[in-house]
Amino acid sequence: MRKLNFEVLTLFPGILAGPLNESILKRGREKGFLNVTIRNIRDFTEDKHKTADDRPYGGGAGMVLKPEPIFKTFGVMKAEYPGEKFLTILLSPQGSVFNQQRAEQLTEEKRRIVLLCGHYEAIDERVIRTLIDEELSVGDYVLTGGELAALVVIDAVARLLPGVLGDEESAYRDSFGDGLLDYPHYTRPAEFRGLKVPDVLLSGDHDLIKKWRRKESLKSTLIKRPGLLKTADLSGEDREVLEELKKELENGS
Ligand code: 4G0
C-alpha cells in the first residue's frame, strides 16, 4: 500500500485541524493512505514576541513574512527525515492554476509534499527563490491565507488515492475522469410537484441511458464551460454528437 505524505507549514494550524479530522480526509488518514503533518511557523520565530512578519523594504502598505522562521521550519522538518526528498509548493495567487490533471499527477508523487501557506500579502522573495519548487493557485481570487488553498489541494488529491473513497463514492468519481461536466441526476419520486424525471431514466434500457447521459454531459459542458472541450477525452461519436448539439443550440431548439 502506498501512502502520500503532506507537510503543511502555516501560522494558523487551527484552520487546518477541523477539515483534516472530518469525513473522508479523516478516514483516509486513519486507514493510512494519507499522512498530514502540520507545522506552526510561529514555533520557529526568534524573538519573545514571536514576530513572523515585518515592514517591506522600499516602503508601502502591508507586511511581509520574514524569511528566518520559514527557513528554520524547513530546516527542522528536513532534519526529521534524513535522506528524504521534498516537493515544495507555495500556495499563492501568483501560482499556476491547480486543476484535476495536477491533482492526478500529485497522487503519483514519491517525495514529501510541502505546502507553505502565507498569511500576509507577501512573503520574502528569498524564501520563494531558495526553498520553493512550484507556486500553485487554487483560482483567480485572493484569500486571507494559503491554508484554505492547501486544504483544497489535499482534498482533491486524497479522494483520488485508491482506498480513500468507499465503493459507492469511487464509482461516482471514476465516471468523471474524462474532463466533462456531470450529467443531470434524479431520484424518487418520478414526479415531484409536476416536475417529471426524463422518461429514458425509467425505461430500463441501460444502453440508451448511457447514451443520454453522455449527450447531457457534452451539452452541459458545451453551454457552461466550452473551454473544457479542448482537453476533454472525446470519442469520434462524442464529436458527432457535439456537432449536432451545436446546430440544435444555434436553432434555439
Ligand atoms: C498574497 C493562495 C496572498 C500573496 C493564497 C499569499 C489565494 C490563493 C497570499 C501570497 C492566498 C490562491 C505570495 C504567498 C495568501 N490567496 N488563489 N492568500 N503569497 O490559491
Per-residue model confidence as pLDDT tens digits over 36-57: 999 999 999 999 999 999 999 9
Q: What is the mean pLDDT of the chain?
A: 96
Q: Is the CB of 89 under 6 A from ligand 1?
A: no
Active site residue 159: yes
pLDDT band at 131 (very low <50, low <70, confident <90, very high): very high
Active site residue 225: no
Cell of 242: 457535439
Q: Considering only CA atoms, which of 103, 127, 126 is closest in space to residue 116?
A: 127
Please give the angle made by the CA atoms of 230, 150 and 129, to the nearest 5 degrees. Answer: 90
- Cell 482537453: give the residue: 231
Mark residue 141 as left, alpha or beta (left: phi above 0; alpha: psi -120 to 50; beta: remaining).
Answer: beta
Tell whether the model's pLDDT for residue 88 goes beyond 80: yes
Q: Is the CB of 123 under 6 A from ligand 1?
A: yes
Pocket-testing residue among 89, 92, 144, ligand 1, by greatest number of atoms within 8 A of Cβ = 92
Report which ligand 1 atom has the smallest distance to the Cα of 136: 20
Under a CB-based contact definition with an 8 Å cutoff, are residues 134 and 97 in contact? Answer: no
Q: How far apart are CA 28 and CA 16, in angstroms?
A: 15
C-alpha 164: how far from chain center:
15
Long-range contacts of the stretch 209-215 (C-beta < 8 A, 24+): 212/183, 213/183, 214/183, 214/238, 214/241, 215/241, 215/245
Active-site residue (options: 109, 121, 178, 216) = 121
239's CB contacts (< 8 A; 6+ apart) are: none
Q: Is the CB of 87 under 6 A from ligand 1?
A: no
Q: Is the CB of 10 under 6 A from ligand 1?
A: no
- Cell 441511458: give the residue: 209
Q: Tell me: the pLDDT tens digits for 51-86?
A: 999 999 999 999 999 999 999 999 999 999 999 999
3-state secondary structure of 40: strand
From the DSSP assignment, how many helices (H) and strands (E) are in the chain?
Answer: 9, 10
Q: Is the CB of 132 under 6 A from ligand 1?
A: no
Q: Which helix (H) or strand (E) holds 79?
A: helix 67-80
Q: How far apart are CA 23 and CA 134, in angstroms?
A: 29
Long-range contacts of the stretch 171-180 (C-beta < 8 A, 24+): 177/100, 177/233, 178/232, 178/233, 179/100, 179/228, 179/231, 179/232, 179/233, 180/217, 180/218, 180/220, 180/221, 180/228, 180/232
pLDDT, mean of residues 108-134: 96
Tell whether the model's pLDDT for residue 173 goes beyond 60: no
